[in-house]
Structure formats: C-alpha cells, structure tokens
Chain A
Amino acid sequence: MEGGGIRIEGLHKRYGKGETAVDALKQVDMRVAPGEVVGLIGPSGSGKSTLLKCLGAVIEPTAGRMILGNEVIYDNGWKITDLRALRRDKIGFVFQAPYLIPFLDVTDNVALLPMLAGVPNDVARTKAMALLQALDIQHRAQAMPSELSGGEQQRVAIARGLINRPPVILADEPTAPLDSERALAVVRILNDMARQFETAIVVVTHDEKIIPTFKRIYHIRDGITHEEIGEGREFD
C-alpha cells in the first residue's frame, strides 16, 4: 500500500468450532489512507467490535490480510511476534468511555505510554504538553480526570492515543456520551489530528450526529463491509 494507513483484505473471523461456529466477520475489505478519517457503522452484532479487536491486534482473525502503515501484520497468521509492542507503537486507541487512569493527572495520563517505555519523564511530559496544546486543553494539564468534563476527558483520551504518533487510531464510539456540540468538537479534533499527524483513523459509531461528517463510510452488515461515500459535511 502506498504511504501507509490501513489496508484490510478478505478478513474473516470465526468464533467456535463445528456446528456452534459463528462467522462474526465474513468478508471485510477496508482502506484508510494516512490523514483520513473513515466511519465504521452498522447495527449491533454486525461485527464492528470484532473488526476493531482484530485491527487492534487483540484477537486473532481466522483468515485474511491486514497491513498497518507499511507493515503486513497479518496474513493468514500473525506476522508480528510482539503484539503488545505493535499496539503500543503503531495503534492508538480512543474508547467510548475515556478510561483515563484515575490516579494520574492529565499530563501523566497522556505521557504514560512513553514513560512506561523508558522515555525520561520530563521528555514524555513535554511531548504530552505539546499534544494537550494542540487539543486546546493545556489549561487542564494538572487536573485529575475526575475534575474534567466528558468532552475534556475525551480530548485527553485522544491525546493519549496520539502520544506515540501511531500511524493508526481506532476510535470506538468516541462521541457516545457527549452532546451534539461536544461530539462534533471531538470529530473535528480527530480530523485535525489525522491531517496534522498523517494518521489513519477509524471511527466506530452509531452516532447520527457525526455520521454526516465522514467522507467515506464502511457499513458492516452480517460480517461483510460495504463502502459508501459519505456527506463529508464541513464543520462550522
């Protein structure tokens, strides 16, 4: 694939064996270019979360091919031995709930990953502060997660997902707990970050408020993806 991003070809995931086997993903094909934000939508049980878990190297697909950045990570079997390092270095996660570490302040929540990887604390914190500035939340740098609003927490979670400059960010219902205004603000931030850091972002969502903002959308039904052109509505 040219220039990184995400490419998925013929991904298949089967749970169980024999008569009780369930094909959660039957035929998933997806491309997300660097700097692009795509939506992944579908009804409950359609396979969204399973696809996210496969992409996040949390569960192993049954067959198919996945490429993150310029690296084939799965081709009918994992091509990477250290999946933990893959998740740490190549994939950023943003969840429905921010799941910030409650006993760390905003800066350290963002700086945690590099600090755990051995980067000196002050270097990691400087990097975190730069991201917090980019997300316009630097004034809350010393606050604890419990002191933040839902929107602020989600911005911190995005900053945490971006701290290692991963080529890919997987966002699982990132606007679910937010009102329209804050939800759109989060999507705007994701778009800005995608452009700024050349990151490919997949946003799994049910949220009708943000679906019109995607230029491309993947519908997933019964484990099969269908690509659609989205409205790509501009932010005011």
Chain B
Amino acid sequence: MISLAGRDILHAWGKFIFTGIGLGLLIGVTLTMAGVYRGMVDDGKVLLDNSGADLWVVQKNTLGPYAESSSLYDDSYRGILALPGVAQAANVTYLTMQIRQGENDVRAMVVGIAPGGAGIPGWPPYLVAGRQITRSHYEAVADMATGFKLDDRIQIRRNDYTVVGLTRRMVSSSGDPMVFIPLKDAQEAQFLKDNDAILQNRRRIAENPAFNRPAIPDLLDTVITSQSSNPYVNAVLVRLKPGYAADEVVEVIQRWKRLTAYTRSQMEDILIGKLIATSAQQIGMFLVILAVVSAAIIAFIIYTLTLGKIREIAVLKLIGTKNRTIAGMIMQEALGLGVIGFVVGKISATFWALIFPKYVLLELRDAFSGFIVLMIICVLASIIAIHAALKVDPAEAIGG
C-alpha cells in the first residue's frame, strides 16, 4: 500500500528537514543534559578508579574526603598498614584551588600523594606524556584538561612547581582536573599563610604567658615549630590483600583505629547518591521540562501541518478513505519528524559535547531510551492533530 506520510515528507522535504533541524537542536540539548549527568557520575567513578584504593579511611563520622572535609593524622596510615588484610596504605590530601600559571589561573584539585612511586594508592595510574614525580618537592603531574604542558612552571600558593608529567581523565567529582604534587608540599599548601600572618601568629603566641614561661625557655620555640607544620591528611587510601573481604577490614579499622572507613560501593553511594544528588535532580527537572517542551513543539508542528491539509483530508474522507489511513498518515509524519529530529539531535550532541568544559558522556542506552521516549511523545503529540483531522466533515469538500 502507498505510504501517504512518506510521500508527503518527500514532497515537502524542505519543510520537514528544517522543522526537524529545529526540533533536533532541542533534542540535542536534551541528550546533552543527560550526557552532563552521566559525565558527573562518570567523573565520580573515574575519581574512585584512579585513586587505586579498595578502602577510604577518613576522619571518624565524616563522609570525607570528597563529600565532606576530613582530617586525620598523617601517621595514622602506619597503624592501618599493620592491620590484617591491608596490603598498602597511603596518605592523600585533596585541595581544590586556583593554580596560577603566568597571568592566568586554572581551577584544579591539587592532590598530595605519598612518596613511593607509581602503584601507590593515590598516584596517577598512567601518564600520556613525561614522567611520574621523582623528587620530594616542587614537581607536578597535571591532567591535560588544565591546559598545562610539560616543563610549564605553575604556582601553588607561594611555591613554583614544574610540570613533569601529563595524564588524562583524572578529575575531581565536580569535574575539576587534578594536579598531583608531593604530599609534604600539599600539606604545606593547605595551611600555608602569608608572611605577615605568620609574624602576627608568632607574636600572639609569644605574648601568651602560658607559652612564655621563664622556667621552660624552649617551650615557645617548640610551640611555634609545631604550629608551622601540618600533620594532617584528608584520607588514607588502602589497598587490600587478595582474599580479604572489604567489609571485614572496614570493621577492623573502625573498631581499632577509631576512624571511619568506606568500601568502594559505599564511596560510590556517597559520591553519586549524596554529592551529585542535587545536581542530578536539577538535570532531571531540566529533562522533564525539555521533554514537555519537545512534546508541545511536536504537537504544534504536526497540528499546523495537518491544518494545512484539511481540504485534502476532507476529500480523502469523502472519497472513502478510512479514518485509520488518515490517522496513520498523521502519526507516521509525526514519527518521521521525530526520527529526523533525533538524528539531527544525536549528531549535534556528539559534536558539541566535545567542546563542553566538563566531561559529557553520551551513552548509547540514553540515546536509545531518548529515542523511545521521543517516539512515544510523537505518538501522543499527533493525537491532537488526528483528533482535528477526524473531526473534518467530508461535506467540506463539497461547496455550498
């Protein structure tokens, strides 16, 4: 049987293509929004994957180190290392800040990594250029998204660092690229004050009678020294020995070290369920609104196209065409418009996702679900036009 919808689309292809492009851009935005959400989730998973840890040990009763601040002594890892089932334990610090490079600055997450070389939890698992950090100070490995290049000089707080290695897809849960520096430098950077503040602080301590006792002349120097160093890290990353269950080791750490530990799945729940939950709801609302707007636009377009054919529809009805055929024609045109829109939207989203500042992950399953939802929207949107077409009186084709 002849396809009236197909012939109409072929005949008025310009109208359908341009309308489809307009609709496609809207669909592209919808797919991109879904991609932004997927990108956020993926950033969280990548963060966990790249840390190389099986467990995250953090300050007691906190959701650190990513969702809440967490602070624990930097010697805690020694005690953890001695527990059964623990193969490796390494300190790590995280600090999101603006890193200066010449006149510009880049928002990045500075990660302080414990000495020991690649393979230690927290270290970037692979590089795309250069080498890993080999010196104790002032070397950095940066994610390519920072825009830094090998041998670039970057400034973190008051110190300059040389970029010795580049890595890729090493991002924080909020998508900021990571810059890895030695742990000691990172600890210093977290609490480093300017010179005036240091002088002020020393004077305040010196004026405190409790620290300035004539009977104990070394007390003041001891206190000042202790205040100028930072013995804290944000978390201890733990790698398990083969054959040990993560839950059991978590229980041992929490019982004997008075710290909180999370397994991989728990940490994923924190990142995805808590940290990006509000953003996900925000994006979800956008998706709902975009779906409603798309439905309204498709309905309006199909309704307008149908009204433009009212006389032909009246003739078709008068000469005995079944309602089913007319309804089928309108619905197929709506679906055709949806298909054109989807193709345009998918292509647009694929291209413009690359230029987004943060990672946009376009998944095939989202595209498939989006296509199904779009087809349902097209069917529903065509109902108004079908209703209008079926209401047309065939007598309209006869004058008088």
Contact = CB atoms under 8 A, between A and B. Distances in A.
B395 A59 contact: yes
B7 A108 contact: yes
Interface stretch (B151-159, B169-177, B319-327, B355-363): B319-327
B397 A99 contact: yes
B12 interface: yes
B394 interface: yes
Contacts of B1: 115-116, 118, 121
A108 B2 contact: yes
Contacts of A89: 320
Contacts of B322: 84, 116
A103 B320 contact: no
B399 interface: yes
Interface residues on B, range: 20 to 34
A56 B398 contact: yes
A50 interface: yes
A207 to B, nearest CB: 13
Nearest to A146: B11
Interface stretch (B85-93, B243-251, B276-284, B310-318): B310-318
A8 interface: no
A28 to B, nearest CB: 15
A119 to B, nearest CB: 9
- SS class, residues of chain B in contact with chain A: helix
Contact of B320 (A88, A104, A115): A88
Given A112-B2, A116-B1, A49 B399 contact: yes
B318 A93 contact: yes
Contacts of B10: 103
B398 A58 contact: yes
A199 to B, nearest CB: 15
Contact of B398 (A95, A104, A108, A111): A95
Contact of A93 (B11, B311, B312, B397): B397
B400 interface: yes
A166 to B, nearest CB: 10
A38 to B, nearest CB: 18
Interface string A83-110: 0111111000101100101111000100
Nearest to B12: A103
Contact of A49 (B8, B320, B398): B398
A131 B393 CA distance: 29
Interface in B344-400: 393-395, 397-400
Interface in B1-42: 1-2, 4, 7-8, 10-12
Nearest to A45: B400
A179 to B, nearest CB: 20
A88 B325 CA distance: 14
B7 A103 contact: yes
A85 B320 CA distance: 6
Contacts of A115: 1-2
A128 to B, nearest CB: 12
Contact of B319 (A96, A113, A121): A113
Contacts of B312: 99, 101-102
Contacts of A111: 2
Interface string B289-324: 000000000000000000000011001111111100
A52 interface: yes
A180 B8 CA distance: 34
B319 A88 contact: yes
Contacts of B311: 99
A102 B325 CA distance: 17
Interface of A: 48-50, 52-53, 56, 58-59, 84-89, 93, 95-96, 99, 101-104, 108, 111-113, 115-116, 118, 121, 144, 160, 172-173
15 contacts: A49-B398, A56-B318, A58-B393, A59-B395, A85-B320, A87-B319, A89-B320, A93-B315, A93-B318, A95-B399, A104-B7, A113-B319, A115-B1, A116-B1, A118-B1
| Nearest 9 A/B pairs, CB to CB | A49-B400, A88-B320, A103-B11, A87-B320, A103-B8, A99-B315, A58-B395, A115-B2, A103-B7
